[in-house]
Amino acid sequence: MTRAPDQRHVPSAVRGPLRWVHDAADRAREVTDHPVLEHLARIGLVAYGVLHLLIGWLTARIAWFVQPRTEDADQTGALQAVADSPGGLVLLWLIGLGLLALAVWQGGEVLRWWTGLLRPGHRLRVALVCAKCGAKAVVYAVLGATALLFAAGAGYEADERVQELTGDAFLVPGGSTLVGAVGVGVAAVGVYVLVRGVTGGFMRDVDLHAAPDRWEPLIERIGRVGYVAKGIAFALSGGLLTHAAVQRDVSTATGLDGAMNAIGAVPTGQWLLTAVAVGFAAFGVYALARARYPDRDPST
């Protein structure tokens, strides 16, 4: 496992004005490293896996059983499915709080690594690591907050919200450029996820020392399928958002659900959606395995 920069090598620049930041980060790390938070984060990882299993199920339903646009094959659709199930309200609270704990736990990696930004020769790599960990924490936090909104009875349609924000952006100068930049960014994230799946880099998030050797190849194969499918779906989502910016047409700015329906609209869409459904379900299984053997190692 790659370790964060040793605190003993922090330059003297942290003394004085930066000393209080250093001390505050150390105190915050004590919270993010607490075993109780790790157990709560495991609940969040389980919730993360279950949500992807549900997205896979909803995608399969769109492919074979229901008309497109009648169900949402995205995170909000998965949360609505939880809300409609027996005991759904309790489950939503558990999912929301678990994902928020997971966000704090993952964000703790930024606290582990931030002092590397003060060391010449390490700044670029440490900045990338901190950005990646921070981005993961934001994703978990947004999903957790969304689950709590559903638990409080204030759920919403993600694709409609994306269209509203896109339409509002078109009304301001440079709004189309901003929407296009966001679309390119989402597509870039999708490509990054796809590459992680192809290269197997996601296995750094699993504590391979704790996992039985016989399970490692299976976890890797399942993870590859999941990451590739998820990467393709998010890259397509970004492409649709970029197209909306170029055409100034909010109808194509529909997020993950729009990407699923776009896949289903092509001649072989039913089978392609089935493959994507299997991929998202595989990602869910991988997330459950990670919940059993979690590792925050953010090495790149």
pLDDT exceeds 70 at position 17: no
Which residues lie across from 206 on neighbouring strands? 294
Q: Could you read off the pLDDT of 246-281 as tens digits, one per residue? A: 888 777 667 777 777 777 777 787 888 889 999 999
With 0-12 / 13-18 / 19 or more C-beta atoms within 10 angstroms meaning exposed / middle / buried, residue 52 is: buried
Lowest mean pLDDT among 157-161, 170-174, 209-213, 239-243: 157-161
Q: How far apart are CA 22 and CA 168, in angstroms?
A: 41
pTM for this model (two decimals): 0.80
Q: Averaging pLDDT over each range in 64-78, 121-135, 194-208, 286-300, which range is the top one?
A: 194-208
pLDDT exceeds 50 at position 111: yes
The pLDDT confidence band at residue 53, using thresholds 50, 70 and 90, is: very high
Task: Sketch the domain layout of the chain as residue ranges.
Answer: 19-292
The pLDDT confidence band at residue 219, using thresholds 50, 70 and 90, is: very high
Helix axes 216-247, 255-265, angle to 10 degrees: 90
Q: Which residues contact 71 (CB under 8 A, 6 or more apart)?
A: 58, 61, 62, 77
Q: What is the pLDDT of residue 99?
A: 92
The pLDDT confidence band at residue 156, using thresholds 50, 70 and 90, is: low
Greater pLDDT, 206 or 283: 283
Q: What is the pLDDT of residue 281?
A: 94
